[in-house]
Structure 1
Amino acid sequence: MSFHHRMMLQRYGLGCTTSLYSEVLFDPIFTPIFTAVLGTGVLNIGVASISYASIASAIATTAISIGLQALLAQAPKPPKPEDGRAPLNQAIPFRVYAVGRTRVAGARMMWEAKGSNLYSVQAIAGHRIKSFNRFYLNDDEVTVVDNVVTPLTTGGRYGAGSANVRLYTRLGANPETPYAELVSALGADGIWTNDHRGDGQASLAMRAHNADAQDQQTAFPYGAPSPSVEIDGAYCWDFRDPAQSPTDPSTWTWTRNSAIILAWHLCFNEFGFGLDYQKALLPVIDLWKEEADICDEDVPLAGGGTEKRYQCNGWDTTENGPKSGLNAILATCDGHLVARGDGARILTVGKFRESRTATLTDADIVGHNVQYGVLFEDECNRLVPKFTYPATNYTSCDTDFFEDTDAQIAAGRVLTMEGSYEWCHQWRQARRLGKRDWLRQRQEVKGSLDVRLSGINAVYARWVRLETPKRLPKLDGKLVENRRSIVAITKGGFTMDFIEHPEGIDDWNPATEEGQQPPVPPAANASEIPTPVINLIQAKANGGSVYIRVVIIDPDDGSLTPVVRYRVANADGLGTPGAWVEQPNPNAEPSGGYIDLSTGNVPVDQVLDVQAAFIASNRRYSNWSVTETVTSTSDPTPPAVLTSFTLTGSAPRLGNAAFSFSTGNDSHVRSVEIYRVPSGSAFDPDTATLVGTRAVAPSANYSFTDGDTTRANLLGNPGFDTDTVWTKGAGWTIASGKASKAAGSTASIRQPISFAVGTAYRYQFTLLDWVASTASARLLGGTVVAGGSHGANGTYRGSLTAVTGNTEFGFAGTATFEGAVDDAVLYQQTASCAPQGVWDYYALPLNVSGVEGPASGPLTVTIV
């Protein structure tokens, strides 16, 4: 029985019940899960089979950041951030994976003493990472120069007398390079040899040399040093970048974008879910791009500058399983993840959009359980957002909490819940996430809906608008949020847990809602100098140049000189950072609890790493602060839209499209990029084909051509204006400006052409007055090379490659073909020809920093 026949029978069956038939049954997007549930008990996707048991789980799940439901209370969680200070010591330790920027000690692979030296190797991550940024021995941050821990900030620790410590790193290449010093010392004993490479494993090695007896306590006051590191973790496939390939990890980039990291965890992380990206991501890749762009949106800060909306940083071990990391990643972006029946995954991050909203009507709902109020045991009148704070050497920390004092008075006590955002390292981001959870928790309308199969679209949507004047009149017209949906055949199809969508959940006023930066307890290093805490970092444009503004918390010690240093994060284009440039600020004065620092001019339009430190009067340095990243945009103002963007020339356009455009009286415009996309496709400069760039000036006119302007029609009398040039076969006539054929015999109309063997020739013609059968364009003489057969009025184009013996071009009709051809084109294709087809062109103005202005277009062009 055909699929269509089965669906028609099912439609008849539904029509005989109280359920209402919905056209969603034939929706090509959602049919796979529907047929899986109502079919034979197994859904086949490729070679994999999915049973009822696997489908009868959460179709849609949201971030588990606060313990609202007992059902979710035992959700797996990643290790505490403090666990990253000491390596795991197990016979067979669990492997570690890390994303974004985080502190981790990994798992100890080797710990061996020989003579006066102690040797150790730690597996930092079970995959390739971007870099090692900072080094710690016990709780002391140390400076490493040429693999040697220097006494710059240690006050004699790890370097007193004859004592010294060396640290070596490997990023996890495959194959990897052995640690030569360890092999030299331990290879003869078979403890650590050249075969101990650790292919694909980021690792850290240490050699600690004992001090003389009188210096031992100074050099190693805590005993044997225990290393840990701050790293930039996994490379991920950024699906917005056409230069990156999902099958070639060498093209991937390091990122903190929550959506991109989630895609990596689902499909590419060896310790993740192992989904096939071709099924999980590619069918809905445009939706994932939208979410990644939202994560990268700039959110304004109270003191000036911006930060990205949603970033993710953290690490986990395989002891917890992939759901642990999934929950942590979703919590960083208030994420909602849908498992579609065909294997696709749809992410929706925390920002309301009507495009992610579906509708449920009275006819779609068979049951409900709605709670118009909050039970006492579920009441919360204070929410404390918790995050991981790099400024306190990566420990758990609270932000300012959200509370309802009236509710506390009514309840007679403070009822606190914690918002757990452990993979969030920005306190402002934790506040934004906390606000979203706080507003949801304060909503009194919650419950569950039993949804018919006709409401399947709503099951996959994050937000649902209710049109329920009969079943739920109090909620008619309300917007609710789908918190969790599961397959529930006995309840009509699906069960959806929901909560009323809070008003103003996306509103954010940094001046009033950002709160205060969490305090950093004084933590002097071995030199007894506190480490600066950065409150704000901002790139400031100044007449084409840029300086960096850095605001730090006042240490209340006038003897300390603050110093800022920066470096280009990607100096060689291969990910290698440049050299640090230090700039002291001896004249900086505290104001309102902060010290406002600035650099001199920095390289413009570059991603910069920035740190701060204090210098004491004895010239000793504090530890450098947590690294912050900023882009030195010299011109943040986007250019104005072009005053004109028009198509020039006339059809037929042989391998090219010509344009003219004009810039307005706008001092910010510096260049214009021309893009090409298939006609009707949405324009996205990250995925569209860039065909050219013009340097421009204000109030000027320019022209641009995509393709080869030297092409010409090789045919004589292409419009059949006269009865010449063409040789007519049986039934063909030329009259009234067209070549017509009557039914009777297979025949062609043709003219001689000198072809280059092996070269492609593009053609186009119009078929009109069609009555019956088909005609096609052909290269004749010797072996016939035929184009597509066409049997309807219209304009057709294609390409034919000449072979030995071809001497003529023409059109051939079958014996029963009756119709006419006109407006024939034939030309030799070159490598510089624009591709054949119907295209939309766009023009995008940019300023000197690459900031984009409004795009002009589309201009639709047919290229022969």
Structure 2
Amino acid sequence: MRTPRCLLVAGFLSTTMLTPSPVQAGPVVGFVAGFLTTAVPGLTIAAGAGAAYAAGAGAAAFFTTTLGSLVLSVGFALVSEALKPQAQSTDPGDRLVNYAKPISYFERVYGRVRNGGVMGCTSFRGDRRHYTAILASHSIKRVVDHYLDDVLVETDVDGLVITEPYGDYGSIRTYNGQPGQAADAILVDAIPEWTAAHDMAGLAYAAIYARRTSSEVFSDVYSRGDIWNYAPLIEGNDRIWDPRDETYKYTNNAALVIAHEIVTTLGGEVDWEDVAFEADVSDQLVTNADGGTQRRWTINALFSDDQDWEEIKTILLAACDGFMFERTDGKVGFYVGRWQEPTVTLRDEDFLSLQVTEGLEIGVNGRYVAQYVEPANLYRKTPTGAYIADPDGRQTTREIPALAVDSYDQAIRIAVRTAAVERAQFSLSGRLKLSGKYLMGQRFVRIEHEELGLSMTVEIGKLVRVEDSMSYEFQGVSTVASDHQFDAATQSPPRPVYENLSSDNSVAEVAGLSGSVMGAGGIRYEWNTQEQSLTQEIRLRSIDAGQPDWQSYIAATGQSSFAATGLLDGATYEAQVRNRTSAGRVSGWLPVAPISITAIVDSTPPPELTTFSAARVGADIEIALTSPNDAGYFATRILRADYPTGFVATPDVADAIVVRIEYGLPGNVDGWIDSSVPVGVHVYWAEPINRSGIPGPLSGPETIEIT
């Protein structure tokens, strides 16, 4: 039962917890050193937690925060509320172009990212358009793949493009921004203003040219009608400090990326011993939905100098279920996502006020979809499958931007965590006495509130020092350990399939596709056994079922069949199949002319009609029948063959057409009058059908002549 908010607050205001207590002035050192034993008698804290204060951390340093004005902690429980599309970094699809602006901001790249970047220069010389693209404002590890207008291309050792239809028309030379980087020789030779001094020191960039073509092949080479957008896949910053082996390196380890941003962008300090611990947590192997393993938390993102710290912080914490806080020594601390047993307990006497809301908000979402960057979808923004938090609840969908994530499994974990926060049993906010300072660096806290009958663990979303310096405000939600223990096998929804992957004819094609009706609205498709390294993709469409576009499905590994269920009764479905490699290369679809099979829910025919007759009544013909007393009976199909010239020796049902479907109940007498029948001989048959139109035995013929 959801308790009304006003009752909780009213009941709380009647207690003595809001009674002012005397404030005593004294030396700052005494205030800090004696705080543990005198100011908060009701607080339970782990042994050794007062070491930082005993070391002499002053109040001025304590209250100087880089997280925001007076903000001491911020975590995923609050960040998840800010995960709106407008609060996230640029759509990765928007940066897959080369752009030129009067003022362009430096861009920082972490992990694997596709980036078109700023156009550094452009000049037409001879039959070539030369241009450069700045990929990052720092050195990078390498360029992994080249993409021209979203097409993966290869180059030779000199940078000449060798992939058709671009071969002989383009050149790509990349520079990683390493010390000693020289100016591009082709640009120096082609453009008088470009000299050896234009070495683009410290910048990762690409130098490109696109040649003029004949009109016959222009549209093939330049499908956009302009020079190519060059947006390669790069492995970014290679100067990230790893305290575990004391080296600068390329990495997308979430903890090391966060620490690098705090130190180099924010200008803050971190405790590198703590960072090393969080880096180990980020590198822990977790099981994904495919049954394999992957590192727990990575960050693959691009940031620009025009983004403020609040936006960057939101993106970083959202990518790894993170929690960031101000330490008592002025350094910035953080945790990557995991469950931590709480070491602090708050009781009645610690609160100045407390507001608790129980139950779900009206209109809370039941489905959660994360928007992440999918490598198999050309590193574009891609939705995950929907995580269903409440199958019986309101089926609205919450979209969660997670654009610093390029792993389907990690994106789903963010969606599941968002659901846990949004659907928490209790939401809490309030003001604490001086004991609130002990929540600094605490993501989880126990609340044992006797007056309100509360006993729970709370995940802190935000901790703020009030300007009076004597109290703290907090926000949080109730939580349990299972909220932070993701089970990929049961919680991951099916992964979407993308049809815009490149095709490669060298992949073996699938032969022998056939299908058979399973009943209950299902069709089983089968094909010849394929190599174990290949996966089969089958696609279906049905105009009858209102599904004119192809829908693709991936067959289970090692299987040579696929069962399509839940199909529309009586609808005809077309099907084709192809092979797919682990690298995303595909064969052609076969058969070229898709096979067609009609879905049937009920394949059992009803028994024969009990009676069937036809009689002339004036110019009409009266049909009488008795339906079989069988639960599978649905209707009777009446057929008529017309012979205008008179009697035939052997009437043929093949000459007949359906003139009536008579619906009725099993075991009932029924009938129909065929009115105004033309002159001639008319022969009738009838057959019972079930709800899928499957006929039973044919009754007839009954011959009537109209003169």
**TM tier relative to shorter chain:** 0.5 to 0.7
Instruction: From the superposition, tell whether residues 323 and 15 of structure 1 become closer, same or farther in structure 2 (CA, over 3 Å).
Output: closer
CA drift at 1:460: 2.4
- In the alignment, which residue of structure 1 is the partner of 2:50? 27
Deviations 1:205-263 (A, max 9, x none): 10112123433333223221121110000125453433x2xxxxxx4121121111111
Instruction: From the superposition, tell whether residues 338 and 522 of structure 1 become closer, same or farther in structure 2 (CA, over 3 Å).
Output: same
Task: State whether structure 2 residue 460 is matched by structure 1 residue 482.
Answer: yes
CA drift at 1:406: 5.6
Task: State whether structure 2 residue 130 is matched by structure 1 residue 127.
Answer: no
Contact 2:139 2:204 in 1 (8 A): yes
Contact 1:236 1:264 in 2 (8 A): no
TM-score by length of 2: 0.65
For the aligned residue pairs, the C-alpha RMSD in angstroms reads 3.8
Instruction: From the superposition, tell whether residues 214 and 384 of structure 1 become closer, same or farther in structure 2 (CA, over 3 Å).
Output: closer
C-alpha distance in structure 2 between counterparts of 1:353 and 1:15, whole Å: 25
Report the residue type matching 2:298 in the other structure.
Q
C-alpha distance in structure 2 between counterparts of 1:173 and 1:345, whole Å: 30
C-alpha distance in structure 2 between counterparts of 1:427 and 1:14, whole Å: 45
Q: 1:101-180 alignment to 2 at 5 Å?
A: 101-152=112-163, 154=164, 156=165, 158-159=166-167, 163-180=168-185
- In the alignment, which residue of structure 2 is the partner of 1:465? 446
CA drift at 1:468: 2.3
C-alpha distance in structure 1 between counterparts of 2:67 and 2:297, whole Å: 31
C-alpha distance in structure 2 between counterparts of 1:55 and 1:394, whole Å: 33
Q: 1:257-296 alignment to 2 at 5 Å?
A: 257-268=253-264, 272-276=265-269, 280-282=270-272, 285=273, 287-296=274-283
- In the alignment, which residue of structure 2 is the partner of 1:693? none
SS in 1 for 2:460: strand
C-alpha distance in structure 2 between counterparts of 1:436 and 1:54, whole Å: 23
SS in 1 for 2:440: helix
Contact 2:289 2:409 in 1 (8 A): no
Contact 2:85 2:401 in 1 (8 A): no
SS in 2 for 1:481: strand
Report the residue type matching 1:194 in the other structure.
A
C-alpha distance in structure 1 between counterparts of 2:353 and 2:51, whole Å: 27
- In the alignment, which residue of structure 1 is the partner of 2:71? 58
- In the alignment, which residue of structure 2 is the partner of 1:554? 536
User: Which of 82, 87, 92 pairs up with 2:93?
Assistant: 82
Deviations 1:95-133 (A, max 9, x none): 111101110011111011112110001111001100101
CA drift at 1:91: 1.4
Task: State whether structure 2 residue 416 is matched by structure 1 residue 435.
Answer: yes
- In the alignment, which residue of structure 1 is the partner of 2:311? 324
Task: State whether structure 2 residue 401 is matched by structure 1 residue 420.
Answer: yes
- In the alignment, which residue of structure 2 is the partner of 1:504? 482
Deviations 1:598-647 (A, max 9, x none): 9xxxxxxxxxxx94645789xxxxxxxxxxxxxxxxxxxxxxxxxxxxxx
Contact 1:524 1:531 in 2 (8 A): no
- In the alignment, which residue of structure 2 is the partner of 1:215? 217
Task: Count residues with an aligned counterpart.
Answer: 511
C-alpha distance in structure 1 between counterparts of 2:217 and 2:370, whole Å: 45
Instruction: From the superposition, tell whether residues 110 and 9 of structure 1 become closer, same or farther in structure 2 (CA, over 3 Å).
Output: closer
Deviations 1:646-666 (A, max 9, x none): xxxxxxxxxxxxxxxxxxxxx
Instruction: From the superposition, tell whether residues 590 and 197 of structure 1 become closer, same or farther in structure 2 (CA, over 3 Å).
Output: farther
CA drift at 1:597: 9.9
- In the alignment, which residue of structure 1 is the partner of 2:295? 308
Task: State whether structure 2 residue 251 is matched by structure 1 residue 228.
Answer: no
CA drift at 1:483: 0.8
Instruction: From the superposition, tell whether residues 614 and 414 of structure 1 become closer, same or farther in structure 2 (CA, over 3 Å).
Output: closer
Q: 1:309-708 alignment to 2 at 5 Å?
A: 309-354=296-341, 357-376=343-362, 379-405=364-390, 408=393, 414-470=395-451, 472-473=452-453, 475-476=454-455, 478-490=456-468, 492-524=470-502, 553-555=535-537, 591=560, 611=583, 613=585
Instruction: From the superposition, tell whether residues 193 and 592 of structure 1 become closer, same or farther in structure 2 (CA, over 3 Å).
Output: farther
CA drift at 1:273: 0.9
SS in 2 for 1:267: helix
Report the residue type matching 1:288 in the other structure.
V
CA drift at 1:147: 3.8
Asked which structure has the greater CA Rg, the reply is: 2
Report the residue type matching 2:422 in the other structure.
Q
Instruction: From the superposition, tell whether residues 87 and 108 of structure 1 become closer, same or farther in structure 2 (CA, over 3 Å).
Output: same
CA drift at 1:512: 2.1
SS in 1 for 2:242: coil
Deviations 1:422-481 (A, max 9, x none): 1111111111221122122211300213122123222320000113223x32x22x1110
SS in 2 for 1:60: strand
CA drift at 1:33: 11
- Give the share of equivalent positions with the same residue, in percent: 20
Report the residue type matching 2:295 in the other structure.
K
C-alpha distance in structure 2 between counterparts of 1:315 and 1:10, whole Å: 42
Task: State whether structure 2 residue 201 is matched by structure 1 residue 196.
Answer: no
Contact 2:377 2:500 in 1 (8 A): no
Contact 2:139 2:202 in 1 (8 A): yes
Report the residue type matching 1:327 in the other structure.
T
Contact 1:359 1:465 in 2 (8 A): yes
Report the residue type matching 1:364 in the other structure.
D
Instruction: From the superposition, tell whether residues 261 and 114 of structure 1 become closer, same or farther in structure 2 (CA, over 3 Å).
Output: same
Report the residue type matching 1:369 in the other structure.
Q
Report the residue type matching 1:267 in the other structure.
V
| Structure 1: runs of 5 or more not aligned | 37-42, 245-250, 533-548, 558-587, 599-609, 618-864
TM-score by length of 1: 0.54
C-alpha distance in structure 1 between counterparts of 2:99 and 2:506, whole Å: 31
Report the residue type matching 1:27 in the other structure.
G
Instruction: From the superposition, tell whether residues 124 and 530 of structure 1 become closer, same or farther in structure 2 (CA, over 3 Å).
Output: farther
Contact 1:313 1:425 in 2 (8 A): yes
CA drift at 1:335: 0.3
C-alpha distance in structure 1 between counterparts of 2:197 and 2:398, whole Å: 51
Report the residue type matching 1:226 in the other structure.
N
| Structure 2: runs of 5 or more not aligned | 1-24, 510-530, 540-556, 563-576, 590-707
SS in 2 for 1:460: coil
C-alpha distance in structure 2 between counterparts of 1:212 and 1:520, whole Å: 34
Instruction: From the superposition, tell whether residues 75 and 433 of structure 1 become closer, same or farther in structure 2 (CA, over 3 Å).
Output: same
